[in-house]
Amino acid sequence: MKKQPPPIKKREFLESILGHEVHADEMQKYENMVKANELARVVDILEKGAVNRRDFLKSGRLAALLGGIAAVSNNCAGGSLMLGGVKETGPVHYPRLPGHKIQSPEHYGLEGCMVGYYFKRYGWDEPNDIIPFYERKVGKTPSIILFQYSGTKIPNVIPSGIITRMIQAAEKNVISFITYDARYYYEEEGYVFKKILTGEFDDAIKESAKKLRKYGEQYGGFFIRTMREMNLTRRWPPWGGIPHKFKKTWKHIWHIFNEEGANEYATWVWDPFISVARGAQYANSYYPGDSFVDWIGFNGYNFGGQLYQTYQTFSQLFTFEYSTMRKKHPTKPIMIVETGTDEMGSKEKWVKNAFRDVKEKFQGIKAICWWDEKWSHNTIVDFDSRIDSSPEALQAFKESIADPYFLGKVPYRKV
């Protein structure tokens, strides 16, 4: 069994983020902030203009610092750090969403967290193949299937093949989650927003909304996201790094869906990358507003030293974002849209601890989707987050979701 890397040294971590030597008095200041649970308050002060807002949002360094301190403190102390007074002591219940949207599980008479997957292997993309695969592998039907992105990019119309896959999932009582991003290959900064906001792609968006409304009328609600990971700025994505234009564009797309009646069923998931990642900006700066978001989602992975300073546990990845959003948007159900871990360290231990923490520390998380894929991208080489990357990893996954708290099928079509 591989050994887990040692805990991060706090001083070295801060110095790597700040770019200068951290002396004892400065180190003590940050440690006192952690002990006093004042990180969320500091973010509030920054947002209100106590420092140059443009520089803060552009760099994202201080948001990473705040989240990093939380992660370091959690690593060293071995506990869960909840910011701004947010500490769950029992089940978290959210208000019912309007229409036939996907609800938090308590509205289906259930307590717990739905479990889903993004599946990309063997060339399969049909739920009739994917869903039985998980039933065989882990002994439980998924709650959610997060579909691949083929053809689901503005200015395209949502293809009929995606609707067919959604129908297959619905017939097995599994919730569909689709991604309707903008096209990827634009070079000019802000070009994506310009093309959408001028109405050039309105016809495609309207036609997509009509097709999805028609699906919803027969099969019920579904999850949808657009312009995911908008707070990243390292060459990906082409819609990243401009908060005010992102929010305006999100609302433009949302209004078209609303005019076509699709928002009766379309359950909008706002989905940034966690702010503690390198190259990430403070996620909440991109939040379009409670009227335009149904669920709050996060993406975050244990990439180890490739994107982070070192090995990151589930709690270290998500504590800052979770606590901030629970404080700022307490009525919005929270979902982990994408997560996974490589085999570095002890994968089986990471998996067990992740699901344990969701149940015991993050009761406001009502859905978690595992990124079930082996992939390479830029500086990330052969990142293997498949549930069955090793017999030990698969066993840990099976044992974790065997807990009734982690839900399989939910009766969403009855709402």
Q: Strand pairing partners for 334?
A: 296, 365
Euclidean distance between CA atoms 122 and 86, whole angstroms: 42
- pLDDT for 184 equals 77
pLDDT in tens, 9-43: 556 545 544 556 767 776 666 666 555 545 554 45
Euclidean distance between CA atoms 49 and 28, whole angstroms: 25
Euclidean distance between CA atoms 92 and 360, whole angstroms: 12
> How much is the mean pLDDT over the chain?
81
Residue among 317, 353, 275, 295 at smallest CA distance from 4: 353
Do strands 295-302 and 266-270 pair parallel, antiparallel, or not at all (unpaired)? Answer: parallel
Euclidean distance between CA atoms 310 and 73, whole angstroms: 14
Residue 194 CB contacts under 8 Å (≥ 6 apart), including other chains: none
- pLDDT for 238 equals 87
Do residues 378 and 187 make contact, with C-beta atoms less than 8 angstroms apart? no
* DSSP at 171: H
**Residue reference for tokens 């500086």:** 379
Residue 238 CB contacts under 8 Å (≥ 6 apart), including other chains: 182, 184, 185, 186, 187, 191, 192
Residue among 62, 61, 70 at smallest CA distance from 31: 70
pLDDT in tens, 374-385: 876 655 567 888
Do strands 153-154 and 334-341 pair parallel, antiparallel, or not at all (unpaired)? Answer: unpaired
Count CB-CB contacts under 10 A for residue 233: 16
Residue 172 CB contacts under 8 Å (≥ 6 apart), including other chains: 127, 131, 141, 409
Residue type, 57: L
Do residues 262 and 270 make contact, with C-beta atoms less than 8 angstroms apart? no
Euclidean distance between CA atoms 268 and 297, whole angstroms: 10
Euclidean distance between CA atoms 234 and 320, whole angstroms: 21
Do residues 173 and 135 make contact, with C-beta atoms less than 8 angstroms apart? no
pLDDT in tens, 338-367: 999 987 768 999 999 999 999 999 999 999
pLDDT in tens, 70-124: 444 443 333 333 443 456 777 999 999 999 999 999 999 999 999 999 987 666 6
Euclidean distance between CA atoms 216 and 37, whole angstroms: 43
